[in-house]
Amino acid sequence: MTKVILVTGASAGIGRDTALRFLQAGWQVGLIARRAEPLEEIAAAHPGALALACDVADPAAVEAAFAAAVARFGRIDVLFNNAGISRPAGLIDEIPLQDWIDTVQVNLNGLFFCARAAFGQMRRQSPQGGRIINNGSISAHAPRPGTAAYTATKHAVTGLTKTLALDGRPFDIACGQIDIGNAATEMGSKMAKGVPQADGSIRAEPLMASEEVAEAVLHMASLPLSTNVLSMTVMATKMPFVGRG
Residues 6+ apart with CB under 8 A from 122: 76, 128, 129, 130, 168, 171, 172, 173
- Go through 134-162 and write b for each residue having 16 or more CB atoms within 10 A of its CB, e for each that does not: bbbbbbbbebbebbbbbbbbbbbbbebbe
Q: Rounded distance, CA 160 to CA 166, Å?
A: 10
**Is 21 an annotated catalytic residue?**
no
Dist CA 76 CA 63 (whole Å): 13
CB contact at 8 A, 156 and 179: no
Query: Of residues 150, 165, 173, 221, which has the active-site annotation?
Result: 150
Neighbours of 170 (CB within 10 A): 9
Within 10 angstroms of residue 216's Cβ, the number of other Cβ atoms is 18
How many residues appear in the chain? 245
Catalytic site residues?
Answer: 150
